[in-house]
């Protein structure tokens, strides 16, 4: 399994005006938002930035339609809810449309990673990789005191009662016919 750098690194010099690409949090959680950002030296020649968000492991599935990022200062960004769980890995692929009608894809290979991990789930299709962690805030803690066993006799008693009622109804129905 590949690791993720915890600190996004700016590329120097910029590639097509891009100085940084990052996502926060670094490890996403199911049901929580992740923010994707791409920063430019100057956005004057950028007409729009879009993004594909896909599950890249264990299988490949893209969420359609692509997301359109919103510009603020020199940074385009978007936040969205992660639907995948901790047994899966997501990735995002950015595309930048320039005013001269050209389009550049990030990542376009493994060369410009901006401090992020790049995966290639399909030959020639590159994505910035995002691991999904467990949300341990809602995970019940284990009870080390095993003295609380009051629910076990209750469920056992209910099971015996249900069995008794079912047997009684079958016998009564059998005697009726």
* Domains present along the chain, CATH in parentheses: 18-133 (2.60.40.10)
- R_g (Cα) of the chain, nearest Å: 26
The pLDDT value recorded for residue 134 is 81
Residue 87: both structure tokens together: 């047994």
Neighbour tally for 124: CB within 10 Å: 7
Q: What is the mean pLDDT of the chain?
A: 78
The pLDDT value recorded for residue 16 is 80
pLDDT over 70 at 83, yes or no: yes
pLDDT over 70 at 166, yes or no: no
84-143 pLDDT, tens digit per residue, is 999 999 999 999 999 999 999 999 887 778 999 999 999 999 999 999 998 655 444 333
Beta bridge partners of residue 93, listed in sequence order: 52
The model's pTM: 0.68
């Amino acid at each position: 399994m590949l690791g993720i750098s915890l600190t996004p690194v700016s590329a120097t010099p910029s590639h097509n005006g891009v100085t940084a690409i990052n996502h926060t949090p670094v490890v996403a959680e199911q049901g929580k938002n992740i923010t994707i950002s791409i920063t430019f030296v100057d956005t004057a020649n950028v007409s729009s930035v879009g993004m594909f968000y896909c599950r890249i492991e264990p299988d490949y599935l893209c969420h359609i339609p692509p997301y359109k990022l919103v510009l603020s200062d020199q940074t385009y960004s978007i936040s969205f809810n992660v639907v995948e769980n901790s047994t899966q890995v997501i990735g995002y692929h950015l595309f930048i449309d320039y005013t001269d009608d050209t389009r550049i894809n990030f990542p376009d290979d493994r060369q410009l990673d901006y401090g992020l991990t790049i995966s290639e789930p399909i030959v020639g299709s590159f994505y910035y990789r995002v691991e999904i962690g467990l949300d341990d805030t809602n995970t019940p803690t284990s009870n080390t005191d095993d003295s609380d066993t009051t629910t076990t006799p209750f469920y056992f008693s209910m099971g015996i009662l249900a069995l008794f009622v079912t047997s009684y109804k079958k016998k009564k129905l059998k005697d009726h016919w």
